[in-house]
Chain A
């Protein structure tokens, strides 16, 4: 079992409160996912030529200052580093492939790359949703939309890397409630194409499959339709891109989802109880998404 939440604010005045609005949604899904939690938040795009890496260190002893110096020394260019405990956002104008190779070469035992892009940040860790939210100040997050997840692991280890959201490519992420029965065959198909996997988690296979389809030219909607054919198992998926939020359920609708929509926001959750604290929820249009249908909202 897991919990998923998503929130897209249509009213620009609510963007500063995105984290605050989402917090009771995420904490409301604690019973469905008490062992890890995470979210991806989408905000303003960086200036042209800039890119950011979200990094996570498994060691509380990691020396971020020395890391920053090493970066500056290696690339001859200053990186901005925004540190919050074991999480840091590295902002740079160095070409992203070079930075990734350097991180993999020199820091693969110390750092995990959570995501790369220019509008998305990812925070994920083990602990209850409330503990994780407090650790990374989720209530202060702002932006246009986010996807969140509370995990009760059923098929792979409980570690920060195995927590959701999963990401692939740039500014693309996915959270999952359910379990896939063919993640290894998908992986076998993608790995010969040069697609690298970070974990043995089933959700990562779905995430990398969809992002691969989009790199091959599919729109998000086309990739999701290909997913209906290719991905076998139980799922409610919530997907975030820099300007979209998308929701799909498997053909048997084995995992729940409910949507609340009004003029100000679209809110998605596994269960209504985590939507109950949203402003003016009484007058929102509530519906249950149908199996094997695409639901896509654009900011």
Chain B
């Protein structure tokens, strides 16, 4: 591995990758195969410069700091790892996340946390269209607003939106729950506003605390499924 332009920072268990010197593939292979062997606790990645696939497929209890803007699929399929992007991300950050934490300090482009099964994704600024599409258990907290068609076909987990939501929020939603602090441009088919229960307040308080956002649960409204699409209705004539 000496050909990799990486170095251990003196005295601790951090390894540094400079992506102006190392390819994403070399780095990801190290993170997949050698991280635990070398008993490293944290990884710092410099000069990401919008490269795709940074830190995908991690499965180790490690802290990863990406010092700049990342491209598509950053931290996809994450397990255990805590990944922080100190910048913006492209499409599909934390796609199919299983566990662990992914925090984006800037904004996230389309399809953030798409299909996520577990873990937590925090986006400090806005998330673009289709945030949380087909989410299956992940908790997503967005500090800003989300674009159109967010939480489309969301099956399980929570989507917290501290700003506004675009068109078609929660279209065809199953058992996921959405909390929105700002305005909702429009709800999607089968999504409805429901009253907040004590459990909602408790869950939301915990999510906001984990994200580090100082809002109160009482500022939010809840969006969940009206469950009208669970059974096919031939008489509906495609009008939902």
Spell out A's residues near B (CB within 8 Å): 252-253, 256, 258, 271-277, 286-288, 290-291
Contacts and interface: CB of A to CB of B under 8 A. Distances in A.
B50 A288 contact: no
B109 interface: yes
Given A256-B109, A286-B88, A271 B50 contact: yes
25 contacts: A252-B129, A252-B148, A252-B149, A253-B110, A253-B129, A253-B147, A256-B90, A256-B91, A271-B50, A272-B50, A272-B69, A272-B88, A273-B49, A273-B51, A275-B50, A276-B49, A286-B88, A286-B106, A286-B107, A287-B107, A288-B107, A288-B109, A288-B128, A291-B129, A291-B147
B71 interface: yes
Contacts of B72: 271
Max chain A C-beta neighbours (<10 A), residue from B52, B109, B147: B109
Given A252-B149, A253-B129, A256-B91, 15 more contacts: A253-B147, A253-B148, A271-B90, A272-B50, A272-B69, A272-B71, A273-B50, A273-B51, A274-B50, A276-B49, A276-B50, A286-B69, A286-B107, A287-B107, A291-B148
Contacts of B90: 256, 271-272
A286 B106 CA distance: 10
A271 B71 contact: yes
A256 B72 CA distance: 11
Interface of B: 49-52, 69, 71-72, 88, 90-91, 106-107, 109-110, 128-129, 147-149
Contacts of B129: 252-253, 291
Contacts of B91: 256
> Across chains A and B, which 6 residue pairs bring their CB atoms closest together, nearest first?
A273-B50, A272-B50, A276-B49, A253-B129, A272-B69, A276-B50
A293 to B, nearest CB: 12
B204 to A, nearest CB: 27
Contacts of A273: 49-52, 71
Contacts of B88: 272, 286
A202 to B, nearest CB: 23
Contacts of A288: 107, 109, 128
Nearest to B47: A276
Nearest to B71: A273
Nearest to A253: B129
Contacts of A277: 49
B128 A253 contact: yes
A262 to B, nearest CB: 15
A255 to B, nearest CB: 10
A1 B184 CA distance: 32
Contacts of A287: 107
Contacts of A290: 147
Q: Which of B49, B51, B88, B147 is packed against the most chain A CB atoms within 10 Å? A: B49
Nearest to A28: B50
A273 B110 CA distance: 16
Nearest to B129: A253
B133 to A, nearest CB: 12
Nearest to B128: A288
Contacts of A256: 90-91, 109-110
Contacts of A258: 109
Contacts of B149: 252
Nearest to B52: A273
A191 to B, nearest CB: 35
A277 B129 CA distance: 27
